[in-house]
Amino acid sequence: MASPQKQYSAEFKAKVALKALAQDKKNLDRLSDKHDVPVSMILTWTAQLERKAAHVYQTSAEPTDVSPRTEDIDLVDVEIDDEKVSHSISYGVMGDELDYKKLTFWSVLGIVFVVIFTQLLFEMYEQSQQVNDDRIAASSQYHDVNEQKEQAREQLSNFGVVDIEEGIYRIPIDSVMNKMAVDGE
């Protein structure tokens, strides 16, 4: 259940508001604790005091109440010829009159651009993927060719057996060239 709101006298409000103004609205928490008044209420009182401080120095010839009175306000009857404006004022909002042809055109155009952009992104992705696949294939072929060259170099520079049943053996090419050079002399 909500507690009843405290009632403060005008003198108390003025005293607290003046103290708050003297402190330049700083340390309001301490002032609030001291007088057991919420900070928001102190701020309200200081704002009221600042607004109404000029009334203290008014002469008796000057009017003291600056707010308009309801008796002084003249009601004006306004006639509006435009039915749409009249209807809008009575409901407080203007009706939307959308141009559905333009709305449809721009919506379809926007969708077409999004589809084209998405298709281009997809094509770029596939192109990039193809380039990467080609690079991988080229590096793989390069590796395979280098491996085959290394095997050929090894076969040309080492002894080995080609066919043991036939008695075919492999000798290094350097040895063959040296033998041919010696035999040729």
Of the listed ranges 31-40, 90-99, 142-151, 170-179, the one predicted with least confidence: 90-99
- Ranges of each domain in the chain: 10-57, 100-184
pLDDT at 96: 74
Residue 84 pLDDT grade (very low, low, confident, very high; cuts 50, 70, 90): confident
pTM exceeds cut of 0.75: no
Residue 46 contacts residue 25 (beta carbons within 8 Å): yes
pLDDT at 60: 61
pLDDT at 21: 81
